[in-house]
Amino acid sequence: MINGAAVAAIEGIPRNYEELFAKYGPFIANETRRLNVVPGNFDDLYQTICERLIHAKALEKFETRIRKSSDEELPETMSAEEACKLLGITFSAWRSKQWSFHKVFVADLGGKVPVDGKTHGTITRSSGAVVSWVAWMPTPISGGYGSPKAVYKTSDVLDVPACGYFAKKGQEGTFSTARWPVRKILPHHFMGYLARAIRNNWYNFCRTIRRKHRDRTGDCFPQFKTPDGDFNDSWEDTLPDTSTCPEDVENAIDYKTLVDDTAKMTDAQKGEIGHLLKSHSIVEAITLSSLSAQQKQVLLSTVTEG
């Protein structure tokens, strides 16, 4: 069970594994079905995925992600509202400086500083109006610069205090980290995280199985398994004794009679007959073998005559 302090106030985020499987069990099952290609294996695979989520501490890791989304984490972007909160200014002041940059410095001054060494100041327009200009303000990556919802790069916002546009005397280039914007964690964020955790645990499970089969190649072939499906450590005992089988055939029946131009038995065929002779009579061995019908007829007639 996890601490839950960081997720207690977030609706839809489970605080323990019992709540996880009760609320998100169908979601985990659907993700498992997408990964499973053998319908008969679903129950076992679903159980394995659930066990691995617990073993991998999926909820604890998500809680860690939430904690990292606090004041200590640097978001890549922020809105104009969040920037104003961080800088300790009003949105009206922010929008005013944006207008001074885009409408005055860029449009009226053509992006050229009228006074060397200055980053901001005032000019008189042809109409006689005195307006402020600033040499730089962040440009939004989405939305208009006059919108409180416009999104800016965090790195650009952090450069604003050094310009001295908004700071009080003696406080140039400073801002309060206590006002750092906190990332909002919503239920769909958790579902995306859970889907990735399911896939990652599935891939890790497959890699484990492949490594096991590389170590025990016989697991891949039914010939090397017991009737219960376990690996048969004594599978070599079931192989025919190819070193003595031909001799077994020669000792059981007349070699010159059986291996003639009519029967045309090869060493492999003699080996098969010899292996069958360990647990069957000569007639049964010939009948159960893979010899052709003509070979069986010749051999059986020879044995019967003998």
pLDDT of residue 297: 82
pLDDT tens digits, 42-94 = 888 899 899 999 998 998 888 877 766 554 556 788 899 988 888 888 899 99
Per-residue pLDDT band at 103 (split at 50, 70, 90): very high
What does the pLDDT average to over 211-233?
A: 60
Per-residue pLDDT band at 151 (split at 50, 70, 90): very high
What does the pLDDT average to over 217-230?
A: 61
pLDDT of residue 119: 85
Question: Per-residue pLDDT for 162 more than 50?
Answer: yes
Q: How far is residue 290's CA from residue 34's CA, in Å, rounded to a whole number?
A: 45
What are the extents of the domains in the chain? 1-69+183-235, 77-179, 245-305
Question: Per-residue pLDDT for 152 more than 50?
Answer: yes
Of 215 and 151, the one with more pLDDT: 151
Of 176 and 20, the one with more pLDDT: 20
Question: Per-residue pLDDT for 176 more than 90?
Answer: no
Question: Per-residue pLDDT for 172 more than 50?
Answer: no
